[in-house]
Copies of this chain bind each other. A is one copy, B any other.
Amino acid sequence: MDCRQIAITGTGMYVPPRRVTSSELDQRLGLADGWTAKKTGVLERRYTEGETSSQMGAKAARAALEQAGYELSDIDCIVGVSGTAQQEIPCTAALIQRELGGGGSGIPAFDLNSTCLSFVAGLDTISYLVEAGRYRRVLLVASEIASVGLDWEQKESCTLFGDGAAAAIIERTPAGSASRILAARMETYSKGAHLSEIRGGGTMLHPRLYSETTKADFLFQMDGRGIFRMTSRLIEPFVEKLLSESGLGMDEIDWVIPHQASGMSMRILREKLGVRPERFIMNIANYGNTIATSIPLALHETIATRGIKRGDRVLLLGVSAGLSLGGIVLAY
């Protein structure tokens, strides 16, 4: 059992003020009233109106710092863990550092990207550096603006997503502390790499190639059925291995915090894994799928409102573009 003595000592979130209800989208898309809410499980989501990803991320980061009672100067590394970037160069973490007023601080800042699983992969990866003492306190920040990249001709996907940011601070705990990471696992099956993607915007299809005929290349495309088929086959053995590495059974997990992919996929996941509804965190109704923000945002709300205690066993779990499966079992 691989066991890292680290704790999440602060979390924070920020969502932009503009609420977009599912009825509003039904109207915009010419759908029957109620279609979007029923199909996606999302009642409302937020869309930014001019705020940047680093501005949102900095607000979530400040909330996490405040909750933990820290200043930016207490942090010795900032990791951007978003599936989308604010700009091509430089990394979003540097832009967040700047928004936090740390432009002259020297605090190392870089991004780690596994699309919707970026927070999970980031927490997993960086926990080793914290355990080894390389960094005392690391600020992980996910900030996503999904709304700019939606394809309004794909009603199954454009209705799912929302914008938002969430942050977490991790640090090493003294021996004997209940908080730790018990196990983590990631698997990538790139035969599914094109099941959900934005083909353009990078070096393969430069923005200069954007036009009315190519615009779908620059918007999020998703083969929901294909993802469902791949994931159905992979998720149970994945969770079995992860739990086995943690030494725990599913009945010993106090809280399951899944990626808020879609209402239906989460319902199926919950039933497959046999998790009681009151232990399975769903906030997709309020925010939609916020890409990599989704898991830390749900974690923040669970901590803030659900009476989670230190030592409670938490399973973070998700599927991302790639196609990747990722999960962490931790004692909070």
- CA–CA, A92 and B83, complex, Å: 12
Interface pair A324/B220, CB less than 8 Å apart: no
Q: Mark A164-175, 1 if CB is under 8 A from B, else 0.
A: 000000000000
Q: In the complex where A128-B132, A208-B215, A208-B218 touch, is A203 in contact with B104 (Cβ < 8 A)?
A: no
A250 within 8 Å of B (CB atoms): no
- CA–CA, A103 and B201, complex, Å: 23
Chain B hits for A145, CB < 8 A: 203
Q: Mark A68-102, 1 if CB is under 8 A from B, else 0.
A: 00000000001000011111111111110110001
Question: Which residues of A approach B to under 8 Å, CB–CB?
Answer: 2, 52-53, 78, 83-95, 97-98, 102-115, 117-118, 121, 125-126, 128-129, 131-134, 144-145, 148-149, 186-193, 196-208, 210, 215, 218, 220, 320-324
In the complex, 24 of the A-B residue pairs with CB atoms within 8 angstroms, ordered by the A residue number, are A83-B89, A86-B204, A87-B198, A87-B202, A87-B204, A89-B115, A89-B198, A90-B115, A90-B320, A90-B324, A91-B114, A94-B324, A95-B190, A103-B191, A103-B193, A106-B187, A107-B187, A109-B322, A110-B117, A111-B112, A112-B113, A148-B203, A148-B206, A208-B210
